[in-house]
Amino acid sequence: MIVFLSGGAKNGKTALAEDIAVKLSGGGRRFYVATMIPCDDEDRQRITRHRAERAEKGFGTLEIGRDIASALREGGDAVYLVDSVTALLLNEMYPDFSNPDADPEAAARCRNGLLALAKGAAHTVFLSDYLYSDAVRYDAFTENYRRDLASIDRALADAADAVIELCAGIPIFHKGRPAW
């Protein structure tokens, strides 16, 4: 099963995704695929806190900031929770943060890697941040990123068995309604 979860920040996406992954695994192997590449002490403290928060849930943690399909080296018989598509795309677009030029192949590479992971795993749960609800026109850098993220989100939603949006912590099912 492929589950795609989207919603705003601090909306309960991660907690719901973890619950879904635990249920889908049925006691089998499950991996939390963390895509954030830490840049400073605050990021490293956040990662430490998140690992502690999920320690009792039986997740192995894979820190994969690029080349997401490489998670399958752990074997396809597991559940993979990818947190997040949003950070993964940024990492792929700007592998060298000192270079302001986005990699033009990043979105395709990211989308293809995510779909390969979904195809090769027993189950996948993808988290993405909903960045599209305001009416602000941003600079070219941000608009390019939002456009590419939207294209990846659409591809994952198309491939997914269940598409869930969290709004104020309330799940809204746009596709599928699994009995987990």
- pLDDT tens column, 52-109: 888 888 999 999 999 999 999 999 899 999 999 999 999 999 888 777 788 899 999 9
Q: Is the pLDDT of residue 180 over 70?
A: no
Quick: pLDDT tens for 121-170.
999 999 999 988 787 888 888 888 999 999 999 999 999 999 999 998 99
Q: Is the pLDDT of residue 179 over 70?
A: no
Measured distance CA(154)–CA(158) in Å, rounded? 6
Compute CA distances 101 → 2, 109, 134, whole Å.
33, 16, 25
Range from 17-26, 39-48, 95-104, 106-115 carrying the lowest mean pLDDT:
95-104
Q: For each of the domains in the chain, give its residue range(s) and CATH number, in order of start.
A: 2-175 (3.40.50.300)
